[in-house]
A and B are shown apart, each in its own frame.
Chain A
Amino acid sequence: MSYEQQSADVAALIENTREIEMELAPKRAALQEKLKKREAREKDESKMFRRFKIKDIVFLAIITACTLLTSAIMPLLIHVPVFGIIQLGLGLQFSIFPVIGLMKVRKAGSMTIMGVFIALFLVMMFPPMALIAVCAVVVELLVFLFFRSYKNDWACVMAGTLYMPLTVPLLYLYYNVNYTVTGAENEAVSMFLGGTDPWVIVGMTVAILALCFVGSVVGMLISRELKKAGVLKK
C-alpha cells in the first residue's frame, strides 16, 4: 500500500471518528448534565427524594438489627391474651431506634426500608406483624403530609410515635380471628384479661401512643447528642 493510500485511509478514519464524536456530543452533554444534576441533588440536603447510598442502607440495616434484637420477647408476648400487649412490650424499642435511623438518613423511603427489613424477620416470629411494612408506608405518607420532609426533628418523632400504634388494628384483627372466632377459648380469654372490652382497647392504645412518644423523644435526644459530638455525620 502506498504512502498516499495509507494517509487517505487514516484521514478517513479520523473523519469518521470525528463524525461519531459529533453525533455523540449532544448525548454525552446530556449525560454530563444529568450526572451534575444528580450530584447537586445528592448534595442538596433540603431535597427529600435522594438516592440511597450504601452507607444509608448499612446504617438502616444495623438499626433494624438492634430493633429486632430487643424485640426477641415478641414470640412470647403474642400468646398473652391482653389487647395491645405486643405493642406495649415493643413500643419503646420500635420508637427509639427508628427515630435514630431517620435522624441520620433523612431521606424519603427510610422508614419504608426499615419497615421492610423488620417485616422480613417478623414474618418468621408472628406473620400478621409483617404488615408493619404497610404501617411504615402509611407513617411516611402522614409525615410528608404534615412536615413534607424529615428535615425537622419533630417529623422523625412523629414517625416514631405512630409507627408501632398503627399495628394495633392488625392486632385487633388477629384477636378476632384467632381467639374470638375459634370458639371455646373466647370465654377463657375474656375472663382472663377482658380482651374485648372497648375501654381496655382505648386505654391500651393511649398507653402505647404515650410509650412510643417517650421512646421517640429519647431517640431524638440521643441523636442530637451524637450530632453535637460530631458522630452523626451526614
Chain B
Amino acid sequence: MSFFKFKSKLYPLVAIFGSLFLIIFGLVLARNENLPWYLLGAFVWLCLFGCAKGCLKVLIPFIIFGGAFAGIAYASAGGDTAAAVSMLNRFGALFLGAALSMSVAAVRMTRSLSEVHMPRAITLGMLISMSFVPMLKGEVGRVREAMRTRGAGSVLNPKILYRAFLVPFVMRLVNISDTLALSVETRGFTLGPSLYTIYKKEYPALSDVLFLLGLLAGAVLVIVL
C-alpha cells in the first residue's frame, strides 16, 4: 500500500500544519532554554524529510536578520544573553516554519485542498497567488527596465514612482489577469458546483505521520525537561 511508503515529499496539509506548529510553538516558548536544541533538531528533522533545500535557503537570512535582532535585544536588555537567545529562537521558529511551507509546491497544495473539498474559488485563488509571485518579480524588472530606457529617473521620487512605475505596473497586471482568466476558463475551470476529477491525487503516508510525531515528541520533551 502507498501509505507504508517513505515519501521524499511531505503531504502538503501535513507540511502546513507542521509549519504552523513550529511557528506558534517557537513564539510561545521563545524564552525556554531547551528551545534552541529543539529548533536544531527540527532543522535536521526537516532536512531528513525532504526540506533540505528550503532549510538551506533560509539559513543565511536567519543568520543575518536573527543575528541583527538578537544583537538589538541584547543591547536593549542591558547585556542580557537570555533576551538575545529568545529573539534568536523566535527567528529560528519563523524561518523553519517558512522553510517547511516553502517546500510545498503550489500545484500539490491545490490538489490537496481540492481533495478536502475546499471551494474552487479559494483553491484557484491560492494557486494563482502562490505561482504568481515569481512572475511578479519579472514584471517589476520589466517596468523598471522600461523606466531606465526612457530615462524616467529614480523610483525614490514619489511622482516618478506613481507615474512611471505604479501606473504601468498595474496596467500590466490588469492585462495579465484578463489573459490568465481566459486561459483558466478555456482549461475548463468553473466556479459552479460542477463535477471535477483530480488528475494526480495526494495521499498522506507513514512518513508524514512519523514526521509529525517527531515534531510533537520534541515539543513534549522541551516542555517536560
Contacts and interface: CB of A to CB of B under 8 A. Distances in A.
Interface of B: 16, 19-20, 23-24, 27-28, 30-31, 65, 69, 73, 76-78, 80, 82-83, 86-87, 90-91, 94-95, 97-98, 101, 121-122, 124-126, 128-130, 132-133, 136-137, 162, 166-167, 170-171, 173-178, 180-182, 184-185, 189-191
Given A125-B98, A185-B77, A226-B171, A54 B126 contact: no
Interface in A81-124: 96, 100, 104, 113, 116-117, 120-121, 123-124
A78 B69 CA distance: 11
A192 B124 CA distance: 44
A183 B126 CA distance: 39
Given A54-B184, A226-B167, A59 B121 contact: no
Contact of A79 (B16, B91, B191): B91
Contacts of B137: 69
Interface residues of A, number: 53
Contacts of B28: 178
Give 8 closest A-B pairs by Cβ, nearest first.
Answer: A55-B181, A61-B128, A188-B77, A61-B125, A65-B132, A192-B76, A58-B181, A59-B177
Contacts of A64: 125, 129
A61 B129 contact: yes
Contacts of A54: 124, 181, 184-185, 189-191
B124 A231 contact: no
A66 B86 CA distance: 32
5 contacts: A55-B181, A59-B177, A63-B173, A120-B129, A222-B162
Nearest to B16: A124
B191 A57 contact: yes
Nearest to A174: B27
Contacts of A127: 20, 23-24, 27
A48 interface: no
Contacts, number: 143
A117 B126 contact: yes
A96 B95 CA distance: 28
Given A117-B122, A233-B178, 7 more contacts: A61-B125, A124-B98, A125-B94, A126-B94, A127-B23, A184-B31, A184-B82
Nearest to A192: B76
Contacts of B136: 65-66, 69
A75 interface: yes
A223 B78 CA distance: 50
A86 B223 CA distance: 30
Contact of B177 (A55, A96, A223, A229): A55
A76 B65 contact: yes
B125 A60 contact: yes
A57 B83 contact: no
A185 B94 contact: no
A50 to B, nearest CB: 12
B186 to A, nearest CB: 10
Contact of B121 (A66, A104, A113, A225): A113
A117 B128 CA distance: 10
Interface string A111-153: 0010011001101111100000000000000000000000000
A82 to B, nearest CB: 12
Given A66-B173, A69-B133, A58 B180 contact: yes
Contacts of B98: 75, 124-125
Nearest to A104: B174
Contacts of A223: 170
Given A100-B170, A178-B27, A124 B76 contact: no
A210 interface: no
Given A65-B136, A117-B126, A188 B173 contact: no
B128 A232 contact: no
A127 B90 CA distance: 13
A55 B83 CA distance: 49
Contact of B174 (A57, A182, A226): A226
A178 B87 CA distance: 12
Counting chain B CB atoms within 10 Å of each CB, the highest count among A54, A221, A232 belongs to A54
Interface string A210-234: 0000000010011101100101110
